[in-house]
Amino acid sequence: MTPLGNDLPTTWAALKAARSGIGPITKFDASSFPSRIAGELRGFDPRLFMSAKEARTTDPFIHYALAAAFMAMEDSRLSLTPHSALRTGVLVGSGRGGVMTNEKNLIAFMAKGHRAVSPFYTPMTLVNMASGCLAMELGARGPCLDVSTACATGTHAIGEAMKIIQRGDADVMIAGGTEAALSPLVLAGFCQAKALSHRNDAPETASRPFDRDRDGFVLAEGAGVLILEELGHAEKRGATVYAELAGYGLTSDAFHYTRPDPHGEGASRAMTLALTDAGMGPEEIDYLNAHGTSTVSNDAIETLAIKRAFGDHAKKLAVSSVKSMLGHMLGAAGAVEAAVTALAVRDGIIPPTINYRIPDPACDLDYVPNTAREQRVNAALSCSLGFGGTNAALVLRRPGP
């Protein structure tokens, strides 16, 4: 579920075509804000995935999670029996949770008092309710929890779900991230932090990771959910395998609320730990799906981190940021980017970094500029960096011998 399409085939086709999903904000009046552009979901109707009553009593971040998860289940042809449900878990995280419901109910409370607050307010806003609602809808009775680590949420969720399977607590995990944070309050906060692009007159060119003239990220919404499955379990039922999830690394910068460690040490170490977990060397990675936010500090520091982790091989890596087309989906970003990385492995097509026009001397790697590249991808790494200094990386590779 992305600004480029409300399903996987549409999104993937648009990414390969180097299209932007960024446009003017239409969900509320943003005319007074310094940044008035975003990556919105278009034409989404939650009633395609739930009843009208359920849609009214749940927040949009839950709507997006359920829609993405139902499509993932259909794509995987996975159905639950009373027995398999006990070994199927859910781990779908969110960075902000039900922020839109928070705003709506606070406005009602300030205007009319406590009786104007919805009786569903509390469950609608809890971050863990994306996982909870999905488990209830599917009858999945295995591990059910959430991760909330800002912009690294989706990557952490997938990595932790993998570890749950590896330690034998589940055979299947439905994992990913979801975010519906296009609200006036969230937009105001990022504007005040001076984190967003101000290219309001040219929204499709606003997100330009690694370009010298980048001026901030573009806020976006969406969800990404993957079906993770123990290999023997997948083979037994003849599942289609996109990629093998081979390694996971996570670290903390312990440096600043919002700024990454200027030496890139934490991000670099997360990548190295993911490679070690996969039992692979840096030279075995063909493609790196970067966090690539289009902010001045992130892109230069992430480039430095890649050089630290990959050494001489960094110059041979294909590196791209799909945030140039999707915007930054916060807690959903890492999950969507892991799915995109799996598709790059499967199809041998690396999505580009669009709007890359003027090289930055501090960003001097191969960023797959402006046009998708056909290239065999035996193994890839997807990296996410979050506020609070949290870092996560996943290694995906071609399945089979």
Q: What is the CATH number of the domain that holds 302?
A: 3.40.47.10
Question: Domain check: are 354 and 374 in the same one?
Answer: yes
Rounded-to-integer distance, Cα 366 and Cα 72, Å: 32
* Separation in Å, CA 232 to CA 2, 50, 65, 172, 236: 32, 33, 27, 11, 6
Question: Domain check: are 178 and 250 in the same one?
Answer: no
**Length of the chain as a residue count:** 401
Instruction: Give the active site residue among 133, 144, 151, 191.
Output: 151
Instruction: Give the active site residue among 133, 144, 156, 291.
Output: 291
**Domains contained in the chain, number:** 2
Question: Domain check: are 66 and 176 in the same one?
Answer: yes
3-state secondary structure at position 33:
coil
In a domain, 2, yes or no: no
Instruction: Give the active site residue among 133, 144, 328, 363.
Output: 328
Question: Domain check: are 196 and 286 in the same one?
Answer: no
Residue at 255: amino acid letter:
F
pLDDT at 400: 75
Residue at 368: amino acid letter:
V
Domain containing 267 equals 244-397
Q: Which of 236, 261, 295 is the last residue of a domain?
A: 236
pLDDT at 401: 61
Residue at 380: amino acid letter:
A
Question: Domain check: are 227 and 326 in the same one?
Answer: no
CA gyration radius for the chain? 20
In a domain, 3, yes or no: no
DSSP calls for 140-159: --S-EE----GGGHHHHHHH
Question: Domain check: are 307 and 166 in the same one?
Answer: no
Rounded-to-integer distance, Cα 270 and Cα 249, Å: 5
* Separation in Å, CA 286 to CA 177, 344, 345, 378: 25, 10, 9, 7
Active site annotation includes 328:
yes
Of residues 372, 394, 370, 175, the one with CA closest to residue 273: 394
Tokens encoding 348: 């041998």
3-state secondary structure at position 9:
helix
Rounded-to-integer distance, Cα 154 and Cα 178, Å: 8
Tokens encoding 17: 């075509």
Question: Domain check: are 198 and 251 in the same one?
Answer: no
pLDDT tens for the chain, residues 1 to 401: 999 999 999 999 999 999 999 999 999 999 999 999 999 999 999 999 999 999 999 999 999 999 999 999 999 999 999 999 999 999 999 999 999 999 999 999 999 999 999 999 999 999 999 999 999 999 999 999 999 999 999 999 999 999 999 999 999 999 999 999 999 999 999 999 999 999 999 999 999 999 999 999 999 999 999 999 999 999 999 898 999 999 999 999 999 988 889 999 999 999 999 999 999 999 999 999 999 999 999 999 999 999 999 999 999 999 999 999 999 999 999 999 999 999 999 999 999 999 999 999 999 999 999 999 999 999 999 999 999 999 999 999 999 76
Q: Which of 236, 260, 277 is the last residue of a domain?
A: 236
Question: Domain check: are 59 and 170 in the same one?
Answer: yes
Rounded-to-integer distance, Cα 375 and Cα 373, Å: 6
In a domain, 1, yes or no: no
Q: Which of 190, 217, 236 is the last residue of a domain?
A: 236
pLDDT at 258: 83
In a domain, 285, yes or no: yes
pLDDT at 342: 98
